[in-house]
Structure 1
């Protein structure tokens, strides 16, 4: 038996296997009864909003050394790493 014959036999067996699985799946399910009974997934969340810590600081009038900027660019991140304002674990090439 050559490699081509082996590959063709293997391809034929896989094809028959997957065709049999598709036919089995079609025979198992009734596709005609989908009108009256729908399977629908719904989520109900009973979550109450929580006041954040930042809102409490702003409302109380206390000044903090931490500012909420919403993020920094990559260049600013490297600058902060050089100033050792940001703790990093691995070495960073500049």
Structure 2
């Protein structure tokens, strides 16, 4: 058996298998599942809306970290040059 024959056989078996799976799903889709046998989860959370006053300032937290967000690649290289961050491998600028 050559590799071409093997690949053709495997492709044919693959297509037949997935056609059978799709046909099975299509035939089962007409039936409605029983409520007792259904495995559907639903969550309900009570949320009360909060009215925001225009012009109010957000709370400011006293912390030593000013920002924990991401930085751009250029800012990352600048931080590495200033030795603000610790890196383990050399970075080519």
Give the shorter-chain TM-score range: 0.3 to 0.5
More helix by share: 1
